[in-house]
Amino acid sequence: MLLSGSAFAQDDLLTILDNENQSDTKEPLTATFKTTRIVTGQSVELNHGGVVNFVIQHRFGTINSGLYELFGLDQASIKLNLELGVTNRLNAGIARSSIGKFYEGYLKYKLVKQRKEGFPLSIVAYSSMGIDSRRWSDPTRDNLFSSRLYYTHQLLMASRISPGTSIQVMPTLVHRNLVETTADKNDVVILGVGGRQKINKRVAVNAEYYYILPNQVVSNSSSLHHSFSLGFDIETGGHVFQLHVTNSRQMSDKGFLTETDGSWSKGDIIFGFNISRVFNVYNWKKDW
């Protein structure tokens, strides 16, 4: 589905992959984004082989909750991510979200890298599997472990169209083994778009938006909204701080992609931040 929905037919993509090794003399373009996240969602950036990236994601409550909740600061939630650059092409990660008590494992693989005076896109495949570890709401019924599982698949296609400007398109499929009603689709198709504009060498503005195609999530359609986020990246040595506002409090893949219930127009705006810190654990000498 993702390949057919992208701008390239399967044969064309295979041709690009076959030609990738032949285009090594063309300089690859780096730093399409500052880190592996645009805001909440994944970017085409990967950690180099041998590098561990520890990502801490924080979200608070809605700003319109008022002074009693300190405009959302009393309602903190967190997601912890540990990512390993297995090679320069392949990353593996594990994560845990406090909202929903979700555990996730994921893989990112770089299919094609954008090159100067060469192919104009970086293309990365991303897949994750999540587990809902919350206690069953009704433990007396016949509950299946498979009902806890969900899967997310994305094709991340990005271009650094100038030294300071990058854009990314993200056709996405979320599969939920268990849905609330028979009217809800197990498979939810989403189209995401994101971008970055550098202000200077250490600061950039980011944005991302995920559009859920119609008639897929029915049971909570009245409260469902598309995820939209704006933020700043601030690079300080080995850390990257990402400060942002969003209508998505959840940070798990299934959560922010298919269960965002905040409305920008109603003031359901949430402040959050990401912190990324990298560590070298072994040397990977091969460029690819």
Label each residue of 23-34 as H, E or C.
HCCCCECCCCCC
The pLDDT assigned to 18 comes to: 47
pLDDT tens string, the chain, 288 residues long: the values are 444 444 444 455 444 444 544 445 577 778 899 899 999 999 999 999 999 999 999 999 888 888 888 888 888 899 999 999 999 999 999 999 999 899 999 999 999 999 888 889 999 999 999 999 888 777 778 788 888 899 999 999 999 999 899 999 999 999 999 887 777 888 999 999 999 999 988 899 999 999 999 877 766 666 789 999 999 999 887 678 899 999 999 999 999 999 898 899 888 999 999 999 888 888 776 655
Dump pLDDT digits (tens) for 249-275.
999 999 999 989 889 988 899 999 999
Taking a C-beta distance cutoff of 8 angstroms, is the pair 52, 276 a contact?
no
Q: What is the dihedral of CA 254, 260, 198, 241, to 10 degrees?
A: -70
CATH number for the segment(s) 24-280: 2.40.160.40
How far from 210 is each of 41, 169, 190, 217, CA to CA, in Å?
Answer: 9, 10, 6, 14
Q: In the chain, what are the domain boundaries?
A: 24-280
pLDDT of residue 215: 77
Per-residue model confidence (pLDDT) at position 170 = 97
Q: Quick: pLDDT tens for 129-169.
A: 999 988 877 777 878 888 889 999 999 999 999 989 999 99
The answer to whether the beta carbons of residues 130 and 258 sit under 8 Å apart is: no
The answer to whether 64 and 80 have CB atoms below 8 angstroms apart is no
CA dist., res. 150 & res. 152, Å (int): 7
Query: How confident is the model at residue 7, as a pLDDT?
Result: 46
